């Protein structure tokens, strides 16, 4: 399986937040790429772009055969800082382009006109293949779409069986924006949800696989579980082979427990 840019965002990626130990992070990235992951997610704020770059260099996968995304932190969103810090990110990652560059949050130094004009410039230069945003609500998406010349390719948001994000999902489908589901395991909470335990038993699968398969079966949705060790990286990869039936999906859609795991004080909601 080789990543084809025309297929959009590969459904399954590797998240790397808090994977900051150098050798460990590099090995997670190398192991995932060699196993067949076609999408790696990092950010300036994760303080690991250099280690992610090491993993990429150590893997046997060519740069053009996978999708690489990073994010510009909220302190770096003035026009010139976007340009300068993106250059620094590329240097650390050991590449001359990323497939997707996100605005990490619409917060602090974010100003739609100023920030996004720099994203347009990077897009026109070919330094970034696509423009992304993260943690944007519909009103921020509307403004971004008005201001940008380039299309808004993706919005990365928290999404899992305890936070289905139906409103954002509808907006994304209507506006041809892909959703990238972060914290897809609800940062570990999915292991204690009875409905997910039952579906996992039924398919002889893990609750992680059930959550990931539910996300990946949704139209327009990709996901980026964070896994450090080889066992978790493999477990999550096998979610690509799990097919949930309508009854499973309905049971997940009906879960009453709802909660958000990532909620900093600068969040826009
Ligand atoms: P997550 O993926 O929901 O959960 C990660 C946790 O689950 C880790 O403790 C991991 O342990 C464990 N895990 C992974 N696979 C497992 C498996 N198969 N069985 C048991 N445990 C498993 O949480 P997340 O890191 O918050 O979200 C994923 C990625 O989304 C991040 O890494 C980051 O790339 C992105 N993200 C973006 C934003 C944003 O603002 N844009 C915010 C949050 C996250 P090990 O590490 O030990 O494997």
The angle, 0 to 180 degrees and rounded to 10, between the axes of the packed helices 246-253 and 207-216 is 100
C-alpha closest to that of 93 among 42, 150, 24: 42
> By C-alpha distance, which of 57, 19, 59 is closest to 35?
59
Please count the structural domains in the chain: 1
Say whether 51 sits in a helix, a strand or coil: helix
3-state SS of the chain: helix, strand, coil percent to 5? 50, 15, 35
Q: Which residues are registered as beta bridge partners of 157?
A: 181
Q: Say whether 46 is catalytic.
A: yes
Structural domain harbouring 107? 5-189+215-245
User: Read out DSSP for 200-220?
Assistant: HHHHT--HHHHHHHHHHTSTT
- 203 lies in a domain? no
With respect to residue 176, please indicate whether it lies within any of the assigned structural domains.
yes
Most ligand 1 atoms within 8 A of CB, residue of 48, 182, 186 to mutate: 182
Tokens of 165: 């994000």
For residue 258, being part of any structural domain is answered with no
Atom of ligand 1 nearest to the CA of 225: 2
Q: Does 83 reside within a domain?
A: yes
In a domain, 48, yes or no: yes
Residue nearest atom 48 in ligand 1 by C-alpha distance: 227
**Residue of 46, 102, 123, 171 marked active site:** 46
pTM (predicted TM-score):
0.98
pLDDT tens over the chain, length 269 residues: 456 767 789 999 999 999 999 999 999 999 999 999 999 999 999 999 999 999 999 999 999 999 999 999 999 999 999 999 999 999 999 999 999 999 999 999 999 999 999 999 999 999 999 999 999 999 999 999 999 999 999 999 999 999 999 999 999 999 999 999 999 999 999 999 999 999 999 999 999 999 999 999 999 999 999 999 999 999 999 999 999 999 999 999 999 999 999 999 999 99
We report the CATH number of the domain holding residue 59 as: 3.20.20.100
Q: Helix 22-35 crosses helix 230-237 at what angle (to 10 degrees)? A: 30
Find tokens 């897809």 and name the residue. 184
């Amino acid at each position: 399986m080789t990543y084809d840019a025309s297929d959009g965002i590969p459904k399954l990626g590797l998240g790397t937040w808090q994977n900051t130990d150098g050798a460990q992070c590099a090995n997670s990235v190398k192991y995932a790429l060699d196993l067949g992951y076609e999408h790696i997610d990092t950010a300036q704020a994760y303080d690991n772009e250099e280690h992610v770059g090491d993993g990429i260099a150590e893997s046997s996968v060519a740069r053009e055969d996978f999708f690489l995304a990073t994010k510009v932190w909220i302190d770096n969103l003035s026009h010139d800082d976007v340009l300068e810090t993106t250059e620094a990110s590329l240097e650390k990652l050991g590449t001359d382009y990323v497939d997707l560059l996100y605005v990490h949050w619409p917060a602090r130094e974010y100003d739609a006109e100023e920030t996004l004009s720099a994203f347009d410039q990077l897009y026109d230069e070919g330094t970034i293949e696509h423009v992304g945003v993260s943690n944007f609500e519909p009103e921020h998406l509307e403004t971004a779409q008005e201001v940008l010349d380039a299309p808004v390719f993706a919005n990365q948001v928290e999404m899992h069986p305890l936070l289905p994000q139906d409103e954002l999902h509808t907006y994304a489908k209507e506006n041809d924006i892909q959703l990238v589901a972060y914290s897809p395991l609800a940062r570990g909470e999915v292991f204690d949800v009875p409905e997910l335990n039952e579906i996992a038993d039924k398919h002889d699968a893990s609750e992680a696989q059930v959550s990931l398969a539910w996300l990946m079966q949704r139209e327009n949705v990709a996901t980026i579980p964070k896994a450090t060790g080889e066992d978790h990286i493999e477990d999550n990869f096998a979610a690509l082979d799990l097919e949930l039936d309508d009854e499973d999906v309905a049971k997940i859609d009906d879960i009453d427990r709802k909660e958000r795991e990532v909620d900093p004080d600068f969040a826009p909601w």
